[in-house]
Amino acid sequence: MAKLVTPEMEKINKRRMKRKNGKVARSTPMMDAWRRLIRNRTAVLGMAIIIVLLLMAVFAPLIAPYMYDEMDVMNMLKGPSSVHWFGTDNLGRDMFSRCVYGARITLPIAIFTVAVAVLTGGTLGVLCAYFGGQFDMIVMRILDVWGSIPGLMLSIAIVAALGNNMYVLVIGLSVGAVPNMARTFRGAIFTVVDSDYVEASRSIGAGNFSIMFKHLLPNAVGPVILAIVGLLGVEVLCVSTLSFLGVGVQPPTPEWGSLLSTSKEFLNSASYLCTFPGIFIVLSVLGFNLLGDGLRDALDPRLK
């Protein structure tokens, strides 16, 4: 009798037989999540936007037709054309090049800010959830007070006090994000800290450190990843806001927010100057948010 193998079955079998490091590829919770993620069109769109923007930042010198501070005095405040795709500003600088180079400023600041916030806030949150009791009480009350000050105000105050450079900006922005990160990590760890497997690994002699990082964090990764991706979008917005307000990145460095800020004077005569950096800000926030939504669905199949 002929074997009945549908193309679908063949596909599944092929995937099952795929070998990786000599082991049969298996479905791990993470791999399942990945598969659900790439099936989600909006999430893939978000991911594509982020990847394009990141590539743009990395290869800015290759993509941008001009240097970001190169002035073309013959063409000042000219609208979009084949020579200057996004037009030129009041000093004759090519807007497209400035926007492309802007990705090199805005995105890294946002990413480093999130990294710092995750490291400090995350560590605090994990420690709070793991040790609980008095320590948790005291830290969380401090964070409550900390979190009740608007993040942007705190950032502006820090940048104003410590001077204006990228490192201070990163610290100032992350300070505003720490309380939220700590709460997210604490909440995520709380759901797994009482699991039997934690007690089981303690019974075989696992120390606090190894329990936290080997057992608790990997099992709480879902909500944590979500919060991190969401925070990336928020921080892009925060960097731009600070620069727009004039306390962040200073001109002539082409940060998207500061581009908006200098362009706003020509809003009536040359509205395209505001439009393009605005589009980039919107795109990057949109990208992170779409990716975040997709991740939430992918990591938590129960929500579907």
| Minimum CB distance to another protein, residue 208 (Å) | 9
* Encoded tokens for 87: 């037009």
- Alpha helix (H) residue ranges in 59-94: 60-63
CB atoms within 10 A of CB 22: 5
CA quadruple 166, 167, 168, 172: dihedral sign: positive
Please name the residues in contact with 149: beta carbons below 8 A apart, sequence gap of 6 or more.
none
CA triplet 193, 114, 194: central angle to 5 degrees? 5
* Least distance from another protein to the Cβ atom of residue 288, Å: 26
Q: Which is nearer to another protein, 135 or 197 (CB)?
A: 197
Question: Of the ranges 25-33, 45-53, 65-73, 266-274, which one interacts with another protein (CB under 8 A)?
Answer: 25-33
Q: How far is the CB of 236 from another protein (least distance, A)?
A: 31
Whole-number Å distance between alpha carbons of 161 and 140: 26
- Of 7 and 205, the one with the shorter C-beta distance to another protein is 205
**Residue from 61, 65, 132, 218 that binds another protein (CB under 8 A)?**
218
Residue 116 or 299 with smaller CB distance to another protein = 299
Cα distance between residue 14 and residue 9, in whole Å: 8
* Residue 131 φ then ψ, to 5°: -90, -30
148 binding another protein? (CB under 8 A): no
CA distance 201 to 218: 15
Cβ at position 102, least distance to another protein in Å: 40
Q: If you search the block for the tokens 């560590």, which residue do you land on?
A: 123
Token digits of residue 295: 């991740």
Q: Which of 84, 104, 186, 215 binds another protein (CB under 8 A)?
A: 215
Does residue 23 touch another protein according to CB under 8 A? yes
State how far the Cα of 99 lies from the Cα of 45, in Å rounded to an integer.
21
Rounded to a whole number of angstroms, the minimum distance from the CB of residue 302 to another protein is: 15
**In the window 152-211, what residues touch another protein (CB under 8 A)?**
195-197, 199-207, 210
Q: What angle do CA 239, 182, 282 make, to 5 degrees?
A: 30
Query: How big is the chain, counted in residues?
Result: 304
Neighbours of 89 (CB within 10 A): 23
**Residues touching another protein, count (CB under 8 A):** 22
| Two structure tokens written together for 249 | 């990145």
Q: Taking the complex as a whole, how short is the minimal distance between the CB of residue 195 and another protein, in angstroms?
A: 6
- Tell me the closest approach of the beta carbon of residue 16 to another protein, in angstroms: 13
Question: What is the nearest approach in angstroms of another protein to the Cβ of residue 259?
Answer: 44
Residue from 123, 164, 191, 219 binding another protein (CB under 8 A): 219
Q: Name which of 1 and 17 has its Cβ closer to another protein.
A: 17
Q: Is 98 in the site for another protein (CB under 8 A)?
A: no
> Which C-beta is closer to another protein: that of 81 or that of 210?
210
Contact positions vs another protein (CB under 8 A): 23-24, 26, 28-29, 195-197, 199-207, 210, 214-215, 218-219
